[in-house]
Structure formats: structure tokens, C-alpha cells
Structure 1
């Protein structure tokens, strides 16, 4: 016979499994449709759960989409984290480490995907779209913050946090500018523009805004 603790553990395991199934199903739908436009019924069918189960875990469909969108960018975050600091025996300053990471990262595919999921190449995002975009960049911010702490354990936590947050918020700003100019397409021209925008962001952070 199961003990009360075992029963509680089992219920917790089932809840976690259902929640993950819902998120995975939302991610599959978004990848297939290249859109976040789908119904609760669509999601329930794809996740093999009831509508009630969905709302037991999430307050709204948008909450599911926001979390799934963040999970979809996990690969980008993992790629950023996997980029090694600049070579050489000398310890790399935390700013230079972060700057090199963003210069080397291929974010174009993620930016194109995010734009399609948001459903618009208009930089004037709706509140719903802004929340989704903000969550995606928050995901990058949180993961990179932990990675940089591991690389630079002696760095001041406040300084490191401010640096990462400023960089990722800057990425959100240049992302909105990028889609307004090139329509979020993957082309040599759009990649060149993105590279220029990242370089400008890094330069502004290094020398101060208004110095250009």
C-alpha cells in the first residue's frame, strides 16, 4: 500500500508530466504552424489532456504560449552558454566575454522564428506580443546570468547582473529595429544589419550612449 508521502509524490509527478505535455504540444503546434494562433481545443487534443487540465496548470492560453516560446529559445540560450571565452591565458574581463558571446552567436534563426510566432513584423507590438517577446529575452537573460556567474565567480553579482540585463534589453531594442527594417528574413543583408546592430550595442555599452 502506498504511504501518504508516496501518493503525494505520485500526484506531483503526474502534474509535472501533464504540464510538460502541454508545453511540448504548444511548441509542436507553433513549429508546425509557424504561429501562436491556435485554440485551447487544439492544444488539448495535441497534448492528449482535457481543457480543464490545461487551466489547472495555466491561467490562460497566452500563459502556455509565453512559456512554450521561452522553451523554444532554450537552444539559443544553450548555444550562447556553450561559446567559450576568448582564447589566451589571461583571464577575460566579463564585459569582453559577454561581447564576444553575442558577436559569435547565430541569433538570426531565433529572431525569425520569434517574429513568425508573434505573428507580426510590425515593431509596434500588441501587449500580448510584447509580453511574449519580453519573456523570450528574459529567458536568455536568466540563463546567461547563471552561465557568466560560473565563468566569473569572483565578479560582483550586481555588476554582472546589470551588465547581462542591459545587454539583453538592448538586444530586444535592436530586434525591434531589425524587424522594422528588414521584415525579419534570413538573408545576407539582414545578417549584415544584425551584426552591425550588435556591434553598435556593444560599442554603446562600452563607451557610453550618446558618444556616437
Structure 2
């Protein structure tokens, strides 16, 4: 109960509760409309807070939408950083990350981003929320691997993780072009095929040349 807490703690708890209510209300409005075209007044009514309270926490609707998207992406980031342990060294580290990439459901959050932020064509792949997710993933995954492999060279780990996570951004672009970034059985097959090409390219190196049939097709030049 808030009333049993010291005054300062009560203020912090109330502030946290208001922020959570605002973000939850925004997520509900987005799910209902499949768009972000709601007003601050609509959001305040849904969250049962004042307009002023909304602006005490966020500078704009865009900032609120960014937090909603970040929450959606955080589950995908968490699943990717929960990589299975491996006793193998060197290539074993790549195998650990590859297994995590294959198990994680990235299609659902990417399709969500596309619905919420609008179908802006290939430019959607470069949306700040997508870039933010890939940057966060790279940092967290590097930290996980360095904790698991304390003997590993930090630069080598960062280069490996950076190559994979940057590759995800490239895949997002091609996958969006090829599928419209929708979550369907066909789009999931396409994502899996492209992901396998990324993992094999990082494993074998670019000197091996293009993967031929594995190269994603795109309706755009």
C-alpha cells in the first residue's frame, strides 16, 4: 500500500505507476487502432491521468510510442541474450549466438513496428526504433558472451557480435522489401532463409562468395 511508505517513496511509486499507466494506455490504443494517431487528451483519459501528468513524463506522443515499441522489442532482445551455454571455444561462441538467433522470434516485433510506425517502404528498416533495438542487442549480447567467456578478447567478441547484429539490420531491410514486413507463414520462411544466409556468411566469410539461391529477392531495385 502506498500509504504505508515514506513520503518520498510514495511519490516515486505514484510517479512510476502513472508512467506505467500512460505506456499501457498507449499500447492499448495502438493495438485497437493499429496506428499512433491518438491525441494526448485521448491518452490521458485512457490512462486516467491529467494531460499535465502525461507531459510530466513524456515530451511528446512520439516519445510514448517509442517506449511502447521498446517494450515490445525488449522481449526479443531478452530471448536473444539468453543464449545456451557451450563448452566449445572460438567457433562455439558463434554457434551459441546462432542458436539464439534461430530460436528467437524477431518476426513478430518487426511486423509490429511496421504496423505501428507505418508502411514507409524500405526506409522503415532505418527507423530509429529498429536501430535502437539492434544497438541495444549488440551491447547486451557482447556483455553476455564476455561474462560467459572471460578469457575471450573483447575486441574479437565485439566484432563477432557487431557483425551479426548489424547483419540483422540488413536482413530487416531485405525482408521488408520482399514480404512487406507482415507476420505470415511465408514471411517467416523468408526470414529464416535470410537469417541462415547471414549466419553462414559470418561463419564462412565473404571470401566464399554469394550464397546463390539463398540470396533474398526483392520487388524493389
TM-score by length of 1: 0.80
Does structure 2 retain, via aligned residues, the 8 Å contact 1:118–1:132? no
Cα drift, residue 109 of structure 1: 1.8
CA deviation digits over 1:158-194, x for unaligned, max 9?
Answer: 4333333332222122111111111123333322221
1:157 partnered with 2:154:
yes
Give yes or no for contact 1:85–1:100 (8 Å, CA) kept in 2.
no
Mark the CA change 1:56 to 1:194 in structure 2 (over 3 Å): closer, same or farther: same
Per-residue deviation, 1:108: 1.9
- Structure 1 residue runs of 4+, over 4 Å off? 89-92
Higher relative contact order (CA 8 A, sep 6+): 1
* SS of equivalent to 1:11: helix
Cα distance in 1, alignment partners of residues 24 and 142 from structure 2: 25
Instruction: Give the Cα–Cα distance (whole angstroms) in 2 for the partners of residues 65 and 161 of structure 1.
Output: 30
Distance in structure 2 (CA, Å) of the matches to 1:175 and 1:43: 31
Whether the 8 Å CA contact 2:137–2:165 is kept in 1: the answer is yes
Q: Select which of 103, 117, 131 maps to 2:128.
A: 131
Matches within 5 A, 1:1-212: 6-85=6-85, 90=88, 93-120=92-119, 122-125=121-124, 130-209=127-206, 211-212=209-210
Give 1:22 shift.
1.7
1: CA distance, partners of 2:121 / 2:178 = 10
**Alpha-carbon displacement from aligned partner over 1:97-123 (angstroms, at most 9, x marks no partner):** 111211222322222212111211511
Q: CA deviation at 1:90?
A: 4.4
